[in-house]
Chain A
Amino acid sequence: MRFQLKTSSFSLLFVLTCFLPSTWGSATEPVVVYAKKIVTVTGKTILDGMILCVDGKIQAVGQAGEFKVPANAKVIRGEVVLPGLVDVRTCVGLSGILNFEHDSDQLESSSPLQPELRAIDAYNPREELVAYIRNYGVTTVHTGHAPGELISGQTMIVKTVGDTVESALMVDGRAIAVTLAEASTKSGKASPGTRGKQMAMLRSLLIEAREYSAKVAKKAAVKEPAPSEPDKEGKEKSKADEPMARNLKLEVLSEVLSGKKALLITADRAQDIASAIRLAEEFKIPLWLDSASDAHLMIPQLKAAGVTVLLHPSMARASGEKENLSFQTASKLREAGIPFAIQGGFEPYVPKVRVVLFEAAVAAAHGLSFEAAVESITLSPAKILGIQDRVGSIAVGKDADLAIYDGDPFEYTTHCTGVVIDGVVVSSESQ
């Protein structure tokens, strides 16, 4: 995975950089990181290494001194470098630090089924907690609507920088958040009132979406006159020619059925996990099982169904539907070869946001190897989210997202001393 930079291309780039306007130049000032240990994840761990970041991308990774450093490069030194951390499931930015109505946009309770709600319309990129987790090395988050309604809305993937959601955005509408739990059962009008009803409502809606997408496909197959073409014969348009009324709810679910968006189902109890698998199999859609406290009791079933697990934070509270959770679940999933990543999750009270670094650390202290723990918050979530070409490891061509520490990143007393996102140093305070 190490890349031997050709001197010629290097010089060319260097020259170009020098001649570019200074504003552009400062925004993309090369950054070089020297560290005693570089955990690349996809390649070998490099001792006494360097990483060269140019134009927002990783341009070279190797031994210290192996590559020439541009004169204008910003130099950072650290003990251990990890790829920028990826939180596979959080609500940060929709859910704010104050936990008041005005900064809590993670859950809309007016209706149990609202897949049409977009995360981009609810995300506050200037939320303090986004900066808070960034300062510990979290550079990419899959954030969005929270558990708590049968379908609470959409999720998206953003970098933890940017003054607007657009400038932070990597992938819009990545998944639809479904919750199978008591949390999403309601009595009275705000149905569902039972687990049986939850499944019936979900199945009905997915069937409706299947029919809707079939209609849309049929419609598209019928050749329609171009809008600019005059209707020479002056005939009334037949009903079949009328454009179909858009249904945002079903449109979104059609994208789930076609695999364009993922189905993220929050389920903790074994019985709910089984229901989630049943649903995914009926509609032939890949399942992202979220939270999954009882996953350690369902290893064979998860394995057989090819389920991907977005595992609850290690330090989640072992109560209610999470009563059976175990510090060892991560290591058991790893052992079984089930794809998983450790999440920061959604916290309705405190800590208002969880730092995946800390959650993986606890897993690392309970059976998960150091390498596997690093992977569970870097490459694994990147692969699950489908963004592994850009983030999740330290490799040439990937986004220059780096987390720098002054010791073993998982040790409680180690500090995060620097964070780089898209080749820009976004934090250099010791945290």
Chain B
Amino acid sequence: MQGAATASFAIGFCRGDSTPQLYGRPIQPDSDHAEPTLKAWVNATLLPVDQPQVRDGVLVTSGGKIIAVGTKADVKIPAGAAVVDAKGKWIMPGLVCTHSHIGGFGAADSSSPIQPGVRILDSLNVRDAGFRRALAGGLTTLNVMPGSGHLISGQTVYCKLRYHGSSPSVVDEILIRDKDGKSLGGLKMANGTNSQGDAPFPGTRGKSAYLVREQYIKAREYHAKVVAAGGDESKLPPRDLNLECLVEAMQGKRIVHHHTHRHDDIITVIRLSQEFGFQTVLHHVSDGWKVAKEIAAANLPCSIIVLDSPGGKLEAKDLLFKNGKVLDEAGVRVAFHTDDWITDSRLFMRSAALAVRAGMNRAKAIDGLTLAGAEMLGLGDRIGSLTVGKDADFAILSGDPLSVYTRVLETWVEGKKAFDLSIPEDQLYAEGGVNAGSDLDPFLCCYAPAWQGGAK
């Protein structure tokens, strides 16, 4: 282990994270999950996302990857491919949710407002029915995040829903890894009222920003010491998991997913991200439409939530359907997220549709369910569109994804079927019923049930 730690130190981030083995076995590379056989879907309406809609389209997958996509005329179906007639059906990339809380809340506890060293990975329940419901909504990739009750609540994890037949046995089977086997994820931060509280939590916005700056400055100093040690272990500072993670963020190796609602809080995030150089995705961004120009100028993408009505707390009182339209038209990249349990993953497409209702460009809205989200997770080269070479993650729909009447018929992950509405067990997750929900009430940050006083 010491060797591994030194090796990762040499590349300058999160020493010791790349465990070569797991449960006594070598870590399975992501490609091991893939379906090796050749399959082709024909006569479908394709929504490739990175190119215009294709009628009478053909999609060919092999080895868990997309190997061809286009019109009947363009694509020659390879010999030996199992051909599926998808006439009347629509095929779109697997949906990417940039902000989900499926699998059990975890990561930071109430001891401190800043806990970047804590991982959501260590609290995920891979058997949670929520993952199966997400597949029923056509989702294939999730960024599972800790809550927003902290300034920095911990490390997020990017999951691929590899639920082929039976549930995976351990959470490691649904992780997305880089080529070195390191699981990928971001860092969750928050500002505004959710992350305020009694000491040691901040009581004001000024204090919130100060506490965050203080930590990033410490991390900078920590990193300077590490660099100064020049590889000499005797000169290294004692390891600090919290500061290591913040160093990763400042080096652009871990994207900051920042909860923020009110216009001034959004501007604060921009200010801090510029001071410390962390790559940031703005999340929720309820007041985004009020500061769309500023967000565009800062070149920060927005992962937005769409709720059926505004409010629930002061800072979300102007959360409106038009947010996506205004941000997009200002030149901001827009993705949607479920924030599941806040909204239901099964109805994720509805978020994009309601944005279109308020005037958002249709193609941009569909991009916001797929490729935009993939890019916000730093996974745009692997997922998010029906593109040759990308993972064969897609959803087969009964019709237009923006129609209420459209159903997700099948969801495929890395070339394997992970959801099929015609199978009773999968239908249960799609429709609801006994065992499709959760017997526990979800922990939703920062509000108490009405009988306990309501929102904080």
Contact = CB atoms under 8 A, between A and B. Distances in A.
A277 B434 CA distance: 22
Interface stretch (B167-175, B247-255, B309-317): B309-317
Contacts of A365: 404-407
Interface in A346-398: 346-355, 358, 361-362, 364-366
Nearest to B319: A350
A423 B449 CA distance: 39
Contacts of B30: none
A98 B317 contact: yes
B454 A348 contact: yes
Interface string B398-430: 000011111100000000000000000000000
B307, B403, B434, B450 pick with most chain A CB within 10 angstroms: B450
B206 interface: no
B313 A98 contact: yes
A348 B450 CA distance: 6
A14 B297 CA distance: 60
Interface in A379-429: 410-415
B237 interface: no
Contacts of A315: 308, 343-344, 347
Residue in A132, A323, A326 with the greatest tally of chain B CB atoms within 10 Å: A323
Contacts of A207: none
Contacts of B343: 315
B454 A104 contact: yes
A89 B316 CA distance: 24
Contacts of A149: 451
The range of chain B's interface size is 35 or more
A352 B311 contact: yes
A412 B317 contact: no
Contact of B434 (A97, A297, A320): A297
Contact of A351 (B307, B406, B431, B438): B307
Given A98-B314, A348-B449, A351-B312, A412 B437 contact: no
A95 B356 CA distance: 29
B308 A358 contact: yes
A132 B344 CA distance: 22
Interface string A291-313: 00000110000000000000000
A99 B456 CA distance: 9
Contact of A99 (B431, B451, B455): B455
Nearest to A350: B312
Nearest to A325: B432
Contacts of A247: none
B314 A106 contact: no
A362 B455 CA distance: 27
A324 interface: yes
Nearest to A148: B451
Interface in A73-102: 95-101
A129 interface: yes
A176 B455 CA distance: 25
Nearest to B433: A326
A184 interface: yes
Contacts of B451: 107, 109, 148-149, 183-184
B347 A354 contact: no
Nearest to B451: A148
B354 interface: yes
B11 interface: no
Nearest to A182: B441
Given A319-B341, A349-B455, A354 B432 contact: no
B350 interface: yes
A326 B354 contact: no
Contacts of A320: 438-441
B395 interface: no
Contacts of B448: 348
Contacts of B455: 99-100, 348-349
A414 B354 CA distance: 9
B164 interface: no
Contacts of A132: 309-310
Given A99-B447, A148-B451, A348-B449, A319 B312 contact: no
B314 A317 contact: no
A83 B407 CA distance: 28
A191 interface: no
A350 B342 contact: yes
B357 interface: yes
B436 interface: yes
Interface string B284-321: 00000000000000000000000111111110110000
B3 interface: no
Contacts of B347: 315, 362
A412 B434 contact: no
A10 interface: no
Interface in A125-160: 128-129, 132-133, 146, 148-149
10 contacts: A100-B455, A317-B344, A318-B438, A325-B437, A326-B436, A346-B450, A348-B448, A354-B309, A355-B308, A412-B353
Interface of A: 95-101, 104, 106-107, 109, 128-129, 132-133, 146, 148-149, 183-184, 296-297, 315, 317-320, 322-328, 346-355, 358, 361-362, 364-366, 410-415
Interface of B: 133, 307-314, 316-317, 341-344, 347, 350, 353-354, 356-357, 402-407, 431-434, 436-442, 444, 447-451, 453-455
